[in-house]
A and B are shown apart, each in its own frame.
Chain A
Amino acid sequence: MSKIAVVTDSNSGITQKEAKELGLYVLPMPFMIGDDTYYEDVNLTQEQFYELLLGGESISTSQPSPEEVCKLWDSLLQEYDEIVHIPMSSGLSGSCQSAYFLAQEYDDKVQVVDNQRISVTQRQSCLDALELVKQGKDAKYVKEFLEADKFNSSIYIMLDTLQYLKKGGRITPAAAAIGTLLKIKPVLQIQGEKLDAFSKARTVSQGKSVMMNAIKNDVETRFGGILPAPGGVWLEIAHTQNLEAAMELKEELLQVFPGYDVYIAPLSLSVSCHIGPGALAIACCKKISL
C-alpha cells in the first residue's frame, strides 16, 4: 500500500497546529499588505489581519508561489509515495490552476483536486481525503472521488456590508448589482464556481432565516433529507470576527437539526478580505459514503 500525503492551503481554515494533529499539510496563503508579504497563520493572525483591514490598509491576496509549492511537495515525496493536493476553489483563485500545472512535472504522483470548495467545506474535503487514504485508496481515486462529490455542498454567506465585495471583483455581476441606496445585507451562495447572489435581507435575523431555510431546503431536496442525528450531512458555521453571533446561530441551527454536530470556524482570510468583518455563513456537506 502506497503512502499518501494530504496537502491543502490555509483557506481550508486548518491551522498549522491542527494540521499536525490531523496529519496533513497546510500551505499558508500569502497576503500583500503595503510592501510586505505575510503568511496566514504563520506571521499573520486573524486579529492582525482585521486590524489592518479596518484600518483601511489595501490588502491583496496572492497564491502560494510555485517555489513554495514545489518545495513542500519535494520534501513530502521523500517520505510519501503520492500526494493529494486540495487547493481553494478554482473559481476564486488561480492556485488550483498553478498547482495543476506544476503537478505535470510529477507524473501521477501529485493529484490536484479541483472540487471548488472553500473554507469549512474545503476543510471537510480534506477530512474526507484523510478518511479515504485510511481506507487504502490511492491518490488518483481520492481525486476522482472528491471531484465527483464537488456539488454535494452548499455555503450561504450573509454580509454585513457590500463595501469590500465591490472592491474585489470576485463575484458575478448579478451579485455586484445588488442595491446600493438602501442598506442591504446580501446573502451570497457558493455552489461551485464563484460567489453568486442568492437573496437579500435588511436585518440580521431576516438574513439568518434566509440562510437557514436555504440550507434546510438543500438538505431536504439534495442531500437526502433531515435524518435523525448524527444525520447525513456535516453542518458548519463560518464567520468573520463574529464569534458571538456564530454561537447564537449554532443554537438556532440546532433547532432545525437537533443533535447534529455543528463545526464553527473563522472564515479564511482570503475570503474575508473580500467580504469584510461581521459576516456569517452556514455551510453543509453531504457525508461521503464509501
Chain B
Amino acid sequence: MSYQVIDAKLLAKLFLAGSKNLESKKEYINELNVFPVPDGDTGTNMTMTIMSAAKEVNELGENPSMEALCKAISSGSLRGARGNSGVILSQLFRGFTKVIKTYDSLNACVLTEGFDKAVETAYKAVMKPKEGTILTVAKGIADKAKELSSEGVTDLEDFAGKVLEHGKYVLSQTPELLPVLKQAGVVDSGGQGLIEVLSGAYDALLGKEVDFSVAAESSADKPATTQENLVEIDVKYGYCTEYIILLNKNFNVKTEMDFKAYLESIGDSIVCVCDGETVKIHVHTNDPGLAIQKGLKFGQLTNLKIDNMRLEQEEKLKKAAQKAEVQAAAVAEKPAEPPKKVGFIAISAGEGLSEIFKSIGVDYVIEGGQTMNPSTADILDAVDKVNAENVFVLPNNKNIILAARQAAELMTDKNLLVIPTKTIPQGITAVINYMDGSSVDENEEMMISEIGKVKTGQITYAVRDTVIDDKEIKKDDYMGVGDNGILANGTDLTEVVLNTVAAMVGSDSELISVYYGSDVTEEDAEKIREKIADAYPNLDVELQNGGQPIYYYLVSVE
C-alpha cells in the first residue's frame, strides 16, 4: 500500500511504533557511551522521554485529532525529558509538531517543513551545538527531505525510505566529526536512538506488525525518585519460588530442557542453572507445590524460598498510598507559611551526599545522577515542594543540565534558576558561596563564577575496553575522570586515586575533599585519606561519607 499523505491516526501508529522500537534497542544504545563509565544510559533516557509521550498518545484513543496528537507528543516528551539526548529529542518533537499541528494530513512537503523546524528548534535548545551528535543526524535527515521534495518525490514510502537511509549514512559518519567517537569505535548514541525511532515508524508504515501497546511496567513509569508513582501491576503468577537441588540423579542438557519446559508450563521468569552437582531454580508460578515436586525428583532441596508477590505488591501500593497521603497532608498544611525568598534543589545520589547538601542549606534533594537522570517533570515536581519565590537548581551532572533548563522554561509561578554544576563538588561550592544579603542575580553570577574554581575527580571502573584521550583502558580498570577527561587509570584503586589527585593539585591548592561511595568501607577510605594527607602535608584533607553508587570516590581540589 502506498501513501501520499499521513493522517493523525496513522501518525499516532507510526509514533508508537517508533517509541516501541527505541525501547527495544535501549540497552544497545546504552552501550554506545563514549566514556566507558557505568553510566551509559542514553538509550534509557531517550526511551523514558519518548515513552512519556507515547503514554499520552495512547490515552487519546483510536481517532485522535492532529492537534491533540501533536500536543500529546510535544508536552509528553517535554515533561518526560531526561538526559541531554532526551531533551534534544523532545525539542525535535516540539519543533516538528509546531508545524504539522495545523494540517489534517501530512504530505512530503509538510513533513519536510516539520523536519526543518524540528532541527531549528533543537539547535536553539542547545547552548553550544556540537556536530557529530543527534543534531547532525537530524539535520542530515531534514536536508535529505528537502532535496527529495524539491525533486518532486511524493510517495511517502519512497520518501521515508530514502530519508531514513540517508540518516543512517550520516550516523555512520559521526565518528568522522567527533574524534572521541572514532577513538572509542562507536557511533553517536543519541543519533542511533533517533534512527531507531524513525526505523520503527518506517517499519510500521510498510505494514510490518509492531506491538503498539505501552506496557504498564514500561520504563516510562519508573520515576527517577523513589517508588512514589507505583502503578498497579497485574501480577500474573503469584509466588516467587526458589530452591537449590542437591543432585542425586544425572542432570544433562536434555533433562535441563525438559525441566525448563515444565516450569514454563506452570509459570514464567525462569532460571535453571546446573553446575554438575547442584541446580538453582527460580520461577514465578501460581502453584509452587508443582515446582517443588518436580525438583524433588532429582534430589534433596535446600535454600527454599517462596514469596507471595501479590501481597508484596499490595503492600507496596499501600505504602505508596500512605506516603502520598502524608505528602498530600504536608502539602496541604504548607501554604500557610509565606514563601521564602530563595530555595535550593540539588540532584545527588547517596545518603551521605544528600545529608551534606541539606546541612549546607539545600531544601530538597532529588535522588539521581549517573545512573538515573531525573526528567524535566521530576525537577518540576521538586520545585513544587520548595516553598520559595526563587529556586536555584543544581544539576550536578552534565547530562542533567539541559533537563533542568527545560524545567526552568516550563516553570511559570516561580523563578527557577539553573546553576550549571557538572559535578557534586561544584554543587557544594555553589551552595556554600550563596550569600544571604545579596540579590538573586548577584548570587547567580557569584555561584557561576565560583564553581569554576573547584576541580573534580571521579573514580569509577571501566565497563569495556576502549581508547580515550590516548589512554588505553581495559574493561574493569579503575579510572579517574576529571573535569576534562581521564586523569588516571590502572588496576590498583589506591594508585588510581592518588594519581587522580596528583593530576588535580596545583600550587595554589588548599583543600582536598574526598567523598567515599557506597562500595567503599570507612577503613579503606580512611587509609586513602592518610595516604593523600602524607603526600600533601601542606594541604587540608577532608574525608566525608558520600554513599554515592558507581563512583568509589569523588575528589575535589580547591
A182-B544, A198-B435, A198-B437 given as contacts; is B510 within 8 A of A204 (CB)? yes
Contact of B544 among A178, A181, A206 (CB under 8 A): A181
Contact of A203 among B356, B359, B510 (CB under 8 A): B510
Q: Say whether B436 contacts A180, CB under 8 Å.
A: no
Residue B219 lies at the interface, judged by CB distance under 8 Å to chain A: no
- Which residues does chain B contribute within 8 Å of A201, judged by CB atoms? 432-433
A202-B558, A203-B511, A203-B558 given as contacts; is B359 within 8 A of A181 (CB)? yes
A182-B356, A182-B359, A204-B510 given as contacts; is B540 within 8 A of A199 (CB)? no
- Which residues does chain A contribute within 8 Å of B508, judged by CB atoms? 205
Residue A170 lies at the interface, judged by CB distance under 8 Å to chain B: no
Q: With A and B bound together, what is the CA distance between A243 and B136 in angstroms? A: 60
Distance to closest chain A CB from B188 (angstroms): 38
Q: With A and B bound together, what is the CA distance between A201 and B558 in angstroms? A: 11
Q: Say whether B436 contacts A179, CB under 8 Å.
A: no
Q: Say whether B544 contacts A199, CB under 8 Å.
A: no
Q: In the complex, which range does the number of interface residues on chain B fall in? A: 20 to 34
Distance to closest chain A CB from B516 (angstroms): 14
Can you list 10 residue pairs at the A/B interface with Cβ under 8 Å? Answer: A179-B361, A179-B432, A180-B359, A181-B356, A182-B432, A198-B435, A199-B436, A201-B433, A202-B558, A206-B453
Contact with A along B511-523 (1 / 0, CB 8 A): 1010000000000
- Which residues does chain B contribute within 8 Å of A184, judged by CB atoms? 360, 432
Q: With A and B bound together, what is the CA distance between A180 and B453 in angstroms? A: 22
Can you add 19 more A-B contacts, CB < 8 Å, to A184-B360, A202-B511?
A: A178-B360, A179-B360, A180-B359, A181-B359, A182-B359, A182-B360, A182-B432, A182-B513, A182-B542, A183-B540, A197-B436, A198-B437, A199-B434, A199-B436, A200-B432, A200-B433, A202-B432, A203-B540, A206-B558
Interface residues of B in 381-438 (CB under 8 A from A): 428-429, 432-437
Residue A54 lies at the interface, judged by CB distance under 8 Å to chain B: no
Distance to closest chain A CB from B509 (angstroms): 9
Residue A290 lies at the interface, judged by CB distance under 8 Å to chain B: no
Interface residues of B in 350-393 (CB under 8 A from A): 355-356, 359-361
Interface residues of B in 531-558 (CB under 8 A from A): 540, 542, 544, 558
Q: Say whether B433 contacts A199, CB under 8 Å.
A: yes
- Which residues does chain B contribute within 8 Å of A181, judged by CB atoms? 355-356, 359-360, 544
Which A residues lie at the B interface, using CB under 8 A? Answer: 174, 177-184, 197-206
Name the residue in A178, A179, A183, A205 with the highest tally of chain B Cβ atoms < 10 Å from its Cβ: A179
**Closest residue on chain A to residue B510 by CB atoms:** A203
Distance to closest chain A CB from B224 (angstroms): 24
Distance to closest chain A CB from B417 (angstroms): 18
Distance to closest chain A CB from B439 (angstroms): 12
Q: With A and B bound together, what is the CA distance between A181 and B357 in angstroms? A: 9
- Which residues does chain B contribute within 8 Å of A174, judged by CB atoms? 436
Distance to closest chain B CB from A173 (angstroms): 12
Q: Say whether B429 contacts A202, CB under 8 Å.
A: yes
Q: Say whether A182 contacts B558, CB under 8 Å.
A: no
Distance to closest chain B CB from A284 (angstroms): 17
Distance to closest chain B CB from A79 (angstroms): 46
Q: With A and B bound together, what is the CA distance between A10 and B230 in angstroms? A: 67
Q: Across the A-B interface, give the 4 residue pairs with the lowest CB-CB distance, nearest first.
A: A203-B510, A179-B360, A181-B359, A199-B435
**Closest residue on chain A to residue B508 by CB atoms:** A205
**Closest residue on chain B to residue A175 by CB atoms:** B436
- Which residues does chain B contribute within 8 Å of A205, judged by CB atoms? 508, 510
Q: With A and B bound together, what is the CA distance between A179 and B356 in angstroms? A: 8
- Which residues does chain B contribute within 8 Å of A182, judged by CB atoms? 356, 359-360, 428, 432, 513, 542, 544
Q: With A and B bound together, what is the CA distance between A29 and B361 in angstroms? A: 37
- Which residues does chain A contribute within 8 Å of B544, judged by CB atoms? 181-182
**Closest residue on chain A to residue B429 by CB atoms:** A202
**Closest residue on chain B to residue A206 by CB atoms:** B558
- Which residues does chain A contribute within 8 Å of B359, judged by CB atoms? 179-182
Q: With A and B bound together, what is the CA distance between A277 and B544 in angstroms? A: 25
Distance to closest chain B CB from A208 (angstroms): 11
Distance to closest chain B CB from A200 (angstroms): 5
- Which residues does chain A contribute within 8 Å of B513, judged by CB atoms? 182, 202
A199-B435, A202-B429, A205-B510 given as contacts; is B542 within 8 A of A183 (CB)? yes
Q: With A and B bound together, what is the CA distance between A199 and B436 in angstroms? A: 7
Q: With A and B bound together, what is the CA distance between A197 and B453 in angstroms? A: 23
**Closest residue on chain B to residue A179 by CB atoms:** B360
- Which residues does chain B contribute within 8 Å of A198, judged by CB atoms? 435-437
- Which residues does chain B contribute within 8 Å of A200, judged by CB atoms? 360, 432-433
**Closest residue on chain B to residue A213 by CB atoms:** B446
- Which residues does chain A contribute within 8 Å of B558, judged by CB atoms? 202-203, 206
Name the residue in B355, B432, B508, B513 with the highest tally of chain A Cβ atoms < 10 Å from its Cβ: B432
**Closest residue on chain B to residue A197 by CB atoms:** B436
- Which residues does chain B contribute within 8 Å of A197, judged by CB atoms? 436
**Closest residue on chain B to residue A181 by CB atoms:** B359
Distance to closest chain A CB from B320 (angstroms): 30
Contact with A along B478-517 (1 / 0, CB 8 A): 0000000000000000000000000000001011010000
Q: With A and B bound together, what is the CA distance between A205 and B433 in angstroms? A: 13
Q: With A and B bound together, what is the CA distance between A204 and B513 in angstroms? A: 15
Interface residues of B in 418-470 (CB under 8 A from A): 428-429, 432-437, 453
Q: With A and B bound together, what is the CA distance between A51 and B356 in angstroms? A: 33
Interface residues of B in 327-363 (CB under 8 A from A): 355-356, 359-361
**Closest residue on chain A to residue B428 by CB atoms:** A182
Contact with A along B72-104 (1 / 0, CB 8 A): 000000000000000000000000000000000
Q: With A and B bound together, what is the CA distance between A183 and B435 in angstroms? A: 18
- Which residues does chain A contribute within 8 Å of B437, judged by CB atoms? 198
Q: With A and B bound together, what is the CA distance between A182 and B359 in angstroms? A: 8
Distance to closest chain A CB from B52 (angstroms): 36
- Which residues does chain B contribute within 8 Å of A202, judged by CB atoms? 429, 432, 511, 513, 558
**Closest residue on chain A to residue B425 by CB atoms:** A202
Q: With A and B bound together, what is the CA distance between A219 and B558 in angstroms? A: 29
Distance to closest chain B CB from A244 (angstroms): 15
- Which residues does chain A contribute within 8 Å of B428, judged by CB atoms? 182
Q: With A and B bound together, what is the CA distance between A198 and B432 in angstroms? A: 11
Interface residues of B in 196-235 (CB under 8 A from A): none
Distance to closest chain A CB from B483 (angstroms): 17
